[in-house]
Structure 1
Amino acid sequence: MNEQDANTLLEAGILQQNNHDFEAADRAYRRVLELDPQNKYAWYNLGVMAHGDGRVADARADYDNALKIDPVFQSALYNESLLLESSDPDRAVELLKSLIDAEPKAGTAHLHLGRIWAQKDRDDDAAKEFRRALEDDPSLRSQVPEEFR
């Protein structure tokens, strides 16, 4: 089997995942990783499924594997930051800052960073991030806490 086979399996896994056949998708992604252990998309999608299933440790490990391959993989940075926003806000901040470095106009990343700063009573930092979020995506206004609008 070759890279084309891995890509075909990856596409099949994505289709199975979209059709909520998570067992088949899991098998497909794991087979992709046997063929191509550096496939960030297979790792990421395993993380998405684990995240959705409430398997936090597995999701974090899968997202981390994707990020070892591509440290600026925006989807993995964002999803892992959401996963850690409550339990490990300092790590979530690191991930969100990496995402913003890669994509400065990532409005939702600014929104989540603002929420973390607000929880840490860093209101000036929170206000700055909420402003950036709204500059990048005005549709996020309803998600910004009232006191920061």
Structure 2
Amino acid sequence: MSMRQIFGSLACGAVLLTGVAACSEEPDDKPQTSSSGNSDQSNDEGAPADLLNLGVEQGQAGNFDEAKVTFEEVLEAETNNKFAWFNLGFIAQSRNQVDEAISNYDKALEVDANYKPALYNKAIALESEDPATSVDIYRRIVSIDNKSSTAYLRLGILLSRSGDDKEARDAFNAAVRLDNGLTSAVPEEYRATLTAPSTDSAE
């Protein structure tokens, strides 16, 4: 199913973001619509893809209660739908229901252990209560996708808080090499030692 069947991305700081991996890059300037996400299964009545698109539309309109019900209907038809689990997690996390959010992200990760949006948002949810686990998750994300600039940034912040200056500096350098726009988010004491982005680092 299409990545357009997710509507939320706490991971990149956008409330309504569709069509991109939530943990890889900065959010698009404008949220993308989800209308193109139902082409695979448009011939099936009540197909999970159609319900997902309905839930996305409801979520984008701010109707989280309706969206939650719709995503639950998706799961009645298709228990292992990682997009529905992720969106339920996003709704719960948006409402500060951290335990429920983590449980839903875990369900998505049972389906796809490398599903980056769920990994990223789970890491964010755990940053306060279990920073060590968050660090482990961010490290996993960047091992899956070494272009995940925001994961490197958040990893660096957690490492700096734990006193691991060398690894924090390495993480900040990686984040800024990938996206120089993140420089202002790097703690001031680390900015002076940032490595300038190289011209051949795009690949």
| TM-score, with length taken from structure 1 | 0.96
Counterpart residue type for residue 17 of structure 1? G
Q: Which of 132, 135, 138 in structure 2 is aligned with 1:93? A: 135
Q: Does the Cα contact within 8 Å between 1:29 and 1:46 map onto a contact in 2?
A: yes
1:128-139 alignment runs, 5 A limit: 128-139=170-181
Q: Which runs of 5+ in 2 are unaligned?
A: 1-43, 192-203
Q: Which of 91, 106, 109 in structure 2 is aligned with 1:67? A: 109
- Alignment pair present for 1:123 and 2:165: yes
Structure that is richer in helix per residue? 1
Deviation at 1:3, TM superposition (A): 8.8
- Alignment pair present for 1:38 and 2:80: yes
Report the Cα distance in structure 1 between the residues aligned to 2:140 and 2:46, rounded to whole angstroms: 31
Deviation at 1:4, TM superposition (A): 6.3
Greater relative contact order structure (CA < 8 Å, 6+ sep): 2
Counterpart residue type for residue 72 of structure 1? N
Counterpart for residue 18 of structure 1: 60
After superposition, the C-alpha distances for 1:9-38 in whole angstroms (9 at most, x for unaligned) are 011001100101111101100000011011
**Identical amino acids, percent of aligned pairs:** 36
Counterpart for residue 94 of structure 2: 52
- Alignment pair present for 1:108 and 2:157: no
Report the Cα distance in structure 1 between the residues aligned to 2:45 and 2:151, rounded to whole angstroms: 33
Instruction: Say how many residue pairs are matched.
Output: 148
Report the Cα distance in structure 2 between the residues aligned to 1:16 and 1:4, rounded to whole angstroms: 16
- State the Cα RMSD in Å: 1.2
Runs of 4 or more above 3 Å deviation:
none
| TM-score, with length taken from structure 2 | 0.71
Deviation at 1:145, TM superposition (A): 0.2
Q: Which runs of 5+ in 1 are unaligned?
A: none
